[in-house]
Amino acid sequence: MNIEKRLRKAKTQKLRLIVQLFFASASVVTGCKFILFVHSLEKGKFVSRPPGVEAFLPLSGLVGLKFWGVTGVINSIHPAAIFLLLTFMLMGLFLKRGFCSWVCPFGFLSEYLWKLGEKVFGKNLKLPRGLDYPLRSIKYIVLGLFLWDILFRMDVNALASFIYGPYNRAADIKMLLFFERISTFSFFVILSFVLFSIPIKNFWCRYLCPYGALVGFLSMFSPMKIKRNISTCIDCKLCTEACPSSIKVHLAKTVYSDECNACFRCVDACPVPDTLYMKLGKKRVSPFAYAVLLLALFFLVTGVVRLKGYWYNSITRKEYKYIIKHIDDPEFSHRSGSQ
Ligand code: SF4
Ligand code: SF4
């Protein structure tokens, strides 16, 4: 049987799809609520704003995280951005790069785009090593530039002037308007990412996403790893064939790669029981336990943050009405601080 057909029937992959659908639906609902919020402001009304939209403000989250570390103050402009970024970083640190293959809606979209490509063309395009390696470093270069700027160049005054400045206050609304008023150039750039994602597996996640780079970097320190029992392995290479990250699983005793996104496809593809598994220290982790841990981490952090009152921001209705009226003024276009 074709490997994709077998994987479609595997319980773990069905479980992963359910979790992916949950987070993708939550993102769509959050996006729709946010659109309603912005358009209600334009009409002078006020529909409540979903704080979850701040998952898409990673820079605000990173600046806020450093500001919290340096001053002990959790800023009230985009507090959810800090805790969502922190949750995803913790996922990387403890649960490999599972954020990309279980949680992220762009990872979900990428996966189904390459599956579409495989259906249409019969197989996906594998870039030669000489091109794959330099392309993979792009996401780390982009991440490195942001980290350098925020962690090493911005002092506490620059951090505060960015966080409390008009650009950051309006960042979520500007993000929405970027898509609603998309320029021809940006449209074709995004379209090209979508088109490249059809023949090339996880094009965006593998080569360009700085979020993936951050989680991937942290995942190298994760105690959770895919392991192969070399004494029972029959060297059929089905694991390597199933791996969307082009990892040579059949040659590894332990998969250390930053590209391993904990999708369990290799485990499901392996025909010999107990030969491939996820391990945390000396304990094996079943896919179900993995999903429970991932969801528990997400709901624990976001739940505590809600209970402690750090989920909602402090920007008032009056201020939002001012922002929407003046969103095209230069005061909302320039970043303060050293950025
Ligand atoms: S090594 Fe296994 S778990 Fe990791 S990305 Fe490849 S198929 Fe998924
Ligand atoms: S699929 Fe299993 S048996 Fe086949 S090469 Fe991989 S680990 Fe070995």
One DSSP character per residue, 50-109 reads PGGGGGG-HHHHHHHHHHHHHHS---SSSHHHHHHHHHHHHHHHHHTTHIIIII-HHHHH
- Could you tell me if the CB of 278 is within 6 A of ligand 1? no
How many whole angstroms separate alpha carbon 102 and alpha carbon 268?
16
User: Do residues 228 and 269 touch, judged by C-beta distance below 8 A?
Assistant: no
The ligand that comes nearest to the alpha carbon of residue 229 is 2
State which ligand 2 atom lies nearest to the alpha carbon of 237. 5
Q: Which helix (H) or strand (E) holds 255?
A: strand 254-255
**pLDDT attached to residue 339:** 40
Domain boundaries, the chain: 3-221+288-332
Ligand 2 within 6 A of CB of 235: yes
| Residues in CB range of 13: below 8 A, 6 or more apart | 7, 264, 265, 268
Helix (H, G, I), strand (E, B) or coil at 259: coil
Ligand 2 centroid to Cα of residue 272, in Å, is 7
Please tell me whether the overall predicted TM-score, pTM, comes out greater than 0.85 for this model.
Answer: yes
The two most distant CA atoms of the chain are separated, in Å, by 69
Mutational pocket test of ligand 2: of 227, 231, 234, the residue with most ligand atoms within 8 Å of the beta carbon: 234
How many A from CA of 261 to the centre of ligand 1? 6
**229 Cα nearest atom in ligand 2:** 7
What was the pLDDT predicted at 189? 97
What is the tens place of the pLDDT at every residue in 73-118?
999 999 999 999 999 999 999 999 999 999 999 999 999 999 999 9
225 lines ligand 2 (CB under 6 A): no
Look at residues 122, 82, 106, 64 and name the one whose alpha carbon lies nearest to residue 261. Answer: 106
Percent of the chain at pLDDT > 90 equals 89
Residues lower than pLDDT 50 in the chain: 338-339
Taking CA atoms only, the protein residue closest to ligand 2 atom 2 is 270
Report the pLDDT value the prediction gives residue 139, as an integer from 0 to 100.
96
CA of 292 to the centre of ligand 2 (A): 26
Check residue 338 and give its pLDDT.
42
Confirm or reject: Cβ of 238 under 6 Å from ligand 2: yes
Which protein residue's CA is at the shortest distance from atom 1 of ligand 1?
260
Phi, psi for residue 56 in degrees, rounded to 5: -95, 15
- Please tell me the number of the ligand nearest to residue 243's CA: 1
Q: Ligand 2 pocket check: which of 232, 236, 240 to mutate, most ligand atoms within 8 Å of Cβ?
A: 236
Question: Which pairs with CB-CB distance under 8 Å and at least 24 residues apart come from 280-284?
Answer: 280/223, 280/224, 281/223
